[in-house]
Amino acid sequence: MNAPLLNTPVLEPSIFELSHAGAQGVSLSAIGVDETPLESLIPPEFLRETAPRLPEISQMDAVRHFLRLSQLNHCIDKEFYPLGSCTMKYNPKVCDYYGMLDGLTRLHPMTPGHLSQGALKIIYTLQQYLADITGFDAVSLQQAAGAQGELVGIMMIKAHFAHIGDTQRTEVIVPDSAHGTNPASAAMCGYKIVEIKSGANGLVDLDRLKAALSEKTAAVMLTNPSTVGLFEKDILEITRLVHEVGAFMYYDGANLNAVMGQAKPAQMGFDVMHINTHKTFATPHGGGGPGCGPVAVTKTLAPYLPAPIADFDGQQYFLNEDRPLSVGKVKAFYGNFEMMARALTYIQAYGSQGLSQVSQDAVLNANYLKACLQEDYQVAFDQVCKHEFILTNAKQKVHDSHLNTMAIVKRLMDYGYHPPTVYFPLIVPEAMMIEPTETESKATLDHFVAAMKAIAEECRTQPELVLNAPHTTPVSKVDEVAAARNPNLNYFGQSAS
């Protein structure tokens, strides 16, 4: 079967439909040694009777299938992604050089230290750089993603209280504006989640925080700039209050891109943080992963970091496993090493002054976009923002009550843009959260403004056009309700064995 015929309701056939028995997409080495009958090596009860129904297809047809699929994706290398809190910025191509070097890609994780000095130096140097950028004393790179970094951060806090015999701390305070991973991570450590309502300005409400804090509090989890894109102006007071009851301050590093070179989380009074390397140091998002979630801590919490940590004895880099108080291992081997090498390259490309410029331009772009859009859309918090800001549909829904935020952002796809983050943070009804990042040019931002203004005009004059959007994408509005009601998660329905 070839590409879909005209008028078929399928964009691209399934790889299983393209399959035809006997074809194979790659040539493979011969066995090369005298073959012993299988049955004399493996007892028959272990051997498979039914072959898995994997595709059988020539290489050309396979390549075309995946290439056609690639064309159905929106990607940052093609067009702008104004995704608040998710930070989609340009991935410098020089970082891809990693993949061309056998000395990095073909290194087995169990290679002895004296034969993997380059890799160990990468881990060690990145640890040092991240400690410098965040102001903390020690860093672990083992975590596979920001969410795992969060989990490790809370685990270390729990381990510390266990170690000093403070057993009364059972609660973690999380603002209602927090990322969903915050409460989920704390719950995975057995903590009760105490949610505090944000103030009308979107920031932490000091009175509510004071009321929630007690000797039962283990930690407060905070993002700064906050999830509404504002710097917590009272941050020094907040961290003081939290420390006063003996609890720790957790910094969700999702928004570090806005403050690099401007302020260090450790100096704000935080005790532990995670970093999402794809948000701040431009490791590829890849359609959802892989990630890398470094964790940085103060001296107090450093003994609990996962083992091993890369170390240097003056001659050789080595993995230090000697961490008796460590929370343990959270990832097989040493974490997502490739992402570490990429993040290191990114940091070296900018240097100290460059990273400071990154944050300045990210903040400049966000404030510029906000200034350009505030006539046509309701701005949720009207003040200087950091790297992101929130609009709502308040000015649009007066034309037609069905003009919710989802309808507006789906229309944006017809103009060639990925929608902003919608319905997050939960505290702003009908939120559209926009983060341009520093890598977008003024021309790109101006085009985006023009599209947003055009949509605002359509909402006034022809709301149906917006309500039925998107019109020009590979598929139109997808029936997600049907997908959840009767889940179809496997081409064959049921598997062979």
Partner 1 sequence: MYNFLPHTEAERQLMLAKIGVKSIDALFSDIPAALRQNMQYSVLPQQGLTEAELQAELQALARQNKGTELTCFLGGGAYNRFIPMAVNTIASRSEFYTAYTPYQPEIAQGTLQVTYEFQTMICELTGMDVANASVYDGASAVTEAAFMAMRTTRRHRILIANSVHPDYRKVLQTYANGLGEVTVETFDPLKPGEALNPNHPQAQKTACVIVQVPNYWGGLEETQSIRQFCQATGALFIVSAEPVSLGLLKAPGSYGADIVTGDIQPLGNHLSFGGPYGGYIATQNKYVRQLPGRLVGKTVDRHGKQCYTLTLQTREQHIRREKATSNICTNQALNVLKATVYLTLVGPNGLKHLANLSLQRTHALASALRKLPGVNLYKPGQAFFSEVALRFPVPVAPLLQHLEQEGILGGIALERFYPDAKNCLLIACTEMTSPSEIERYVEAVRKFLKLNAPPGTPQPPEILQQMEATC
145-184: which residues touch partner 1 (CB under 8 A)? 145-148, 150-151, 154-155, 158-159, 179-181, 183-184
Which range binds partner 1 by CB under 8 A, 52-60, 214-222, 294-302, 391-399? 52-60
The single residue among 138, 139, 241, 358 that binds partner 1, judged by CB under 8 A, is 358
**Cβ distance to partner 1 smaller for residue 128 or 462:** 128
Shortest separation between residue 373's beta carbon and partner 1, angstroms: 11
**What's the rounded Cα separation, in Å, for the pair 379 and 389?**
8
SS3 label, residue 221: strand
**Cβ distance to partner 1 smaller for residue 398 or 491:** 491
| Residue whose token pair is 């001659």 | 315
**What's the rounded Cα separation, in Å, for the pair 191 and 183?**
9
The single residue among 1, 3, 99, 382 that binds partner 1, judged by CB under 8 A, is 99
**What's the rounded Cα separation, in Å, for the pair 109 and 337?**
10
Of 358, 338, 227, the C-alpha closest to 292 is 338
Q: Which two tokens stand for residue 77?
A: 């290398």
The neighbouring-strand residues paired with 198 are: 204
Binding-residue pattern over the window 359 to 398 for partner 1, x denoting contact by CB under 8 A: -xx-xxx-xx-xxx----------xx--------------
Chain positions 242 to 281 lying near partner 1, rule: CB under 8 A, are 259, 261-264, 267-268
**What's the rounded Cα separation, in Å, for the pair 299 and 311?**
16
Which range binds partner 1 by CB under 8 A, 45-53, 295-303, 395-403, 457-465? 45-53
| Residue whose token pair is 């340009």 | 90
User: Cα-flanking dihedrals φ and ψ of residue 462, to 5°?
Assistant: -145, 70
404 sits near partner 1 (criterion: CB under 8 A): no
Measured CA to CA in angstroms, residue 466 lies from 43, 244, 454 at distances of: 64, 52, 11
**Residue 206: alpha-carbon gap to chain centroid:** 29
The single residue among 102, 314, 315, 401 that binds partner 1, judged by CB under 8 A, is 102
Shortest separation between residue 39's beta carbon and partner 1, angstroms: 11
Residue 71 neighbours by CB under 8 Å, 6+ apart: none
The single residue among 36, 167, 315, 401 that binds partner 1, judged by CB under 8 A, is 36
**Cβ distance to partner 1 smaller for residue 246 or 354:** 354
Chain positions 310 to 329 lying near partner 1, rule: CB under 8 A, are 327-329
Dihedral sign computed on CA atoms, order 463, 465, 468, 473: negative
418 sits near partner 1 (criterion: CB under 8 A): yes
The single residue among 82, 88, 204, 227 that binds partner 1, judged by CB under 8 A, is 88
Shortest separation between residue 370's beta carbon and partner 1, angstroms: 8
Contact in structure between 176 and 195 (CB atoms under 8 Å): yes
Q: How many CA atoms lie within 13 A of 252 on its CB side?
A: 26
Q: CB burial class (10 A; 0-12, 13-18, 19+) of residue 321?
A: exposed
The single residue among 168, 351, 398, 461 that binds partner 1, judged by CB under 8 A, is 351
Which range binds partner 1 by CB under 8 A, 144-152, 238-246, 294-302, 452-460? 144-152
Shortest separation between residue 461's beta carbon and partner 1, angstroms: 23
**Cβ distance to partner 1 smaller for residue 398 or 426:** 426
451 sits near partner 1 (criterion: CB under 8 A): no
Q: CB burial class (10 A; 0-12, 13-18, 19+) of residue 416?
A: middle
Of 489, 483, 473, the C-alpha closest to 72 is 473
Q: Which two tokens stand for residue 39?
A: 């049955």
Shortest separation between residue 271's beta carbon and partner 1, angstroms: 16
The single residue among 5, 6, 110, 200 that binds partner 1, judged by CB under 8 A, is 110
Residue 406 neighbours by CB under 8 Å, 6+ apart: 422, 423
**Cβ distance to partner 1 smaller for residue 99 or 429:** 99
Shortest separation between residue 82's beta carbon and partner 1, angstroms: 11
**Cβ distance to partner 1 smaller for residue 138 or 347:** 347
The single residue among 165, 314, 324, 487 that binds partner 1, judged by CB under 8 A, is 487
Contact in structure between 422 and 405 (CB atoms under 8 Å): yes
Measured CA to CA in angstroms, residue 438 lies from 275, 328, 442 at distances of: 18, 37, 10
131 sits near partner 1 (criterion: CB under 8 A): yes
Shortest separation between residue 399's beta carbon and partner 1, angstroms: 22
Tell me the number of residues near partner 1 by CB under 8 A.
206
**What's the rounded Cα separation, in Å, for the pair 497 and 494?**
10
Helix 442-461, helix 405-414: angle, nearest 10: 120
200 sits near partner 1 (criterion: CB under 8 A): no
Which range binds partner 1 by CB under 8 A, 211-219, 242-250, 283-291, 452-460? 283-291
Which range binds partner 1 by CB under 8 A, 34-42, 204-212, 242-250, 451-459? 34-42
Chain positions 222 to 241 lying near partner 1, rule: CB under 8 A, are 230-231, 233, 235-236
330 sits near partner 1 (criterion: CB under 8 A): yes
3 sits near partner 1 (criterion: CB under 8 A): no
Contact in structure between 38 and 47 (CB atoms under 8 Å): yes
